[in-house]
Chains A and B, each alone.
Chain A
């Protein structure tokens, strides 16, 4: 298995992935923090999203509150990142070489996922640190008190990193699955964005109960450490269910699909 992970990491180690994936996550984390401070206390833009209050920003974990605005956006970046990594194996035909060298395809899939998890963790860490740094700059600009900050900075950063990572990995697995099914990163990204931005909001508008278990809301809650609609524990369980289901379906597709291209 380590061979597969090492092989994947060699291929992932290119500027386009580092800048496009990890860099974009950090950038969105930073931008979301700026927006969070600038729009503090104003009404949220819709289901699954929220704008932090000034009080929340001034709390002990306020420096990461703005980051949650970008949770789904970072999720889409991760979904895209994973989808491109999977689909490019098919679009370039490299999958032929991979599957010939390692015919146990479940190993190829799990190894790829593990390598992508490492990159996702790096991206989540970059986003968390970028949000923290941006918050330090924004607080005085937007007159937000930072007196409570620093009491548990490391613990707060660690929890934010953990929650964002868990959410991002599930997003990634969804991207992996869609890309595996469609063999197209473009389609995978379009489906992912279309679902979160439009489809899930439409469903929740019709049935608010659905917001307590649908993917976007669940992963937002997971990233935020829980929301008013879904507790962190429920989000953790639902996220795990999405993760396991996604991986199992992907393994089945990978195992049974014939490589005719």
Chain B
């Protein structure tokens, strides 16, 4: 069963399509990463799931209930939306007591969540005296108040020091192990890779991938860079590798062979048997970050170009073909 389902979920702000027919399936239980470049529609999607904004089109369900009725699942969901938001002139405890009262929760729940996020002893301090990291912990505490089945956390490690990041990562994994569902949005892809079992990648409101991280990584473009001692041997080397079934692409004076790192010794052996001495042989395994950049665009410039072209297409400003994918942008 899915904790979150969306079908054709769309949000338009004037001409801007922030979320475009998003089909999302977040399975129940476990920690799911939710990633995308800046302006990709993550926060807009989260806001629609929480009832803060209304979809322009499409449907969605959270814990089996339509997102048209957030009041029916609000008590089962906790969320940290973008930056931590509290009344600065109130103590951390008073901020949480206010939220606990709103949810009809006993005051002792405040002490429990403060303890969970490691702020015990600081709950009487005014929030305006808190560091960003402490505010972040407080925001996670606020999200944990209803003891939620579903936690939606937008950038939960933002502002935390390395030790704090490890603590939050452990906390997220513990919460996931308790059977809760966590949807975690983060720019720190190494964190997503470390904390999450599944990942959803979106760009400009379109879902690019949804599934186990292991599945994504298995489909990534692991490759081996091979450079012969003499550039004149390149055509022969391409022929040798091609004959053995490897995909080969020439890039200046070296070859990019689509092969896992484990094939590197065999690549060396084939070259040697063909009478070619290799100058360089280096294996590259993609990280989640590599996969993410390959899928979503390497730079803000790429994304700006793609976004503006998407807009132009929708508004019919240009009749000629414009790139609206990373590959098309690269080609352009």
- A residues whose Cβ falls under 8 Å from a Cβ of B: 3-4, 6-8, 10-11, 13-14, 16, 88, 92-104, 258-260
Query: B242 contacts the other chain (Cβ, under 8 Å)?
Result: no
- Given A103-B70, A260-B47, the answer on whether A94 and B102 have CB atoms closer than 8 Å is no
Interface window among B32-40, B85-93, B192-200:
B85-93
B74 touches A102 (CB 8 A): yes
B294 CB-CB contact with A under 8 Å? no
Chain B residues, CB < 8 A from A93:
82-83, 85
Query: Are the CB atoms of B99 and A97 closer together than 8 Å?
Result: yes
- Among listed B51-59, B227-235, B246-254, B320-328, interface-contacting one: B51-59
With A and B bound together, what is the CA distance between A7 and B87 in angstroms? Answer: 13
A interface footprint on B23-63 (CB within 8 Å = 1, 0 otherwise): 00000000000000000000000010011111000000000
Q: Are B87 and A6 in contact, CB atoms less than 8 angstroms apart? A: no
Contact across chains for A7 and B102 when beta carbons are under 8 A apart? yes
Contact yes or no, B85 A92, CB < 8 A: yes
- A100 close to B50 (CB less than 8 A): yes
Partner of A94, one of B77, B85, B94: B85
> Who on chain A is nearest to B73 by CB?
A103
Whether B90 and A11, one on each chain, are in contact in the complex, defined by CB atoms closer than 8 angstroms, is yes
Classify the interface of chain B: helix, strand, loop or mixed: loop
B99 and A96 within 8 A (CB)? no
- Report chain A residues within 8 Å CB of B102: 3-4, 6-7, 98, 101-102
Chain B nearest CB from A108 CB (Å) reads 8
Point out the residues of chain B lying under 8 angstroms from A101, CB to CB.
Answer: 74, 99, 102-103, 146
Q: Which residues of B contact A103 (CB under 8 A)?
A: 51, 70-71, 74
Contacts of A98 in B (CB 8 A): 99, 102
B90 touches A99 (CB 8 A): no
B101 CB contact (under 8 Å) in A3, A92, A100: A3
- Minimum distance in angstroms from B265 CB to a CB of chain A: 55
Q: Does B153 contact A (CB under 8 A)?
A: no
* A99-B51 contact given A3-B102, A10-B94, CB 8 Å threshold: yes
Interface flag for B223 (CB, 8 Å): no
Cα distance, A56 to B99, chains bound together (Å): 50
Contact A92:B103 (CB < 8 A) given known A11-B98, A103-B70, A258-B54: no
Which residues of B91-148 have CB atoms within 8 Å of chain A's CB atoms?
Answer: 94-95, 97-99, 101-104, 142, 146
Given A3-B101, A3-B103, CB of A99 within 8 Å of CB of B87: no
A-B contact count (CB 8 A): 83
* B interface residues with partner A (beta carbon < 8 Å): 47, 50-54, 70-71, 74, 77, 79, 81-83, 85-90, 94-95, 97-99, 101-104, 142, 146
Q: Which residues of B contact A8 (CB under 8 A)?
A: 98
Q: Which residue of A lies closest to B94 (CB)?
A: A10
Minimum CB distance partner of A16 in chain B: B89
Q: How far is the CB of B46 from chain A (nearest CB, A)?
A: 10
CA distance A97 to B51 in the complex (A): 11
- Max chain B Cβ within 10 angstroms of own Cβ: one of A92, A97, A98, A103: A97
Chain B hits for A100, CB < 8 A: 50-52, 70, 74, 77, 79, 81
Say yes or no: A92-B52 contact (C-beta < 8 A), given A7-B101, A100-B74.
no
Query: Can you pick out 12 interface pairs between chain A and chain B where the beta carbons lie within 8 Å of each other?
Result: A3-B103, A4-B102, A7-B99, A16-B89, A88-B87, A92-B85, A92-B86, A94-B85, A100-B81, A101-B74, A102-B74, A103-B74
- Check B81 against A10 for contact (C-beta < 8 Å): no
Interface residue from A3, A4, A16, A96 paired with B81 (Cβ < 8 Å): A96
* 10 extra A-B contacts, CB within 8 A, seeds A10-B101, A14-B90: A3-B101, A6-B101, A11-B95, A14-B94, A97-B81, A103-B51, A103-B71, A258-B54, A259-B52, A260-B53
Contacts of B101 in A (CB 8 A): 3, 6-7, 10
Q: Which residue of chain A is the closest to B72 with respect to CB atoms?
A: A103
Across-interface contacts of B86 in A (CB, < 8 A):
92, 94, 97
B47 CB contacts on chain A under 8 angstroms: 258-260
Report yes or no: A258 in contact with B74, Cβ–Cβ below 8 A: no
Write the nearest CB–CB distance from A35 to chain B, whole angstroms.
33
- A92–B79 touching, CB < 8 Å: no
In whole angstroms, what is the CA distance A11 to B90 when docked? 7
Which residues from A are CB-within-8-Å of B98?
7-8, 10-11
Distance in angstroms between the alpha carbons of A4 and B104 in the assembled complex:
9
Q: Which residues of A contact B70 (CB under 8 A)?
A: 100, 103
Q: Is the CB of A11 within 8 A of B94?
A: yes
Contacts of A99 in B (CB 8 A): 51-52
How long is the Cα–Cα vector from A102 to B146 in the complex, in angstroms? 12
Q: State the Cβ distance, B11 to closest chain A Cβ, in Å.
A: 9
- Nearest-neighbour CB distance to chain B for A230, whole angstroms, equals 39
Give CA–CA (A138, B113) in the complex, Å. 55
Nearest-neighbour CB distance to chain B for A158, whole angstroms, equals 32
Is there an interface contact between A14 and B53, defined as CB atoms closer than 8 Å? no
> Could you say which of A94, A101, A259 has the most chain B C-beta atoms within 10 Å of its C-beta?
A101
Kindly list chain B residues whose C-beta atoms are within 8 Å of the C-beta of A3.
101-104
B51:A11 contact, CB within 8 angstroms: no
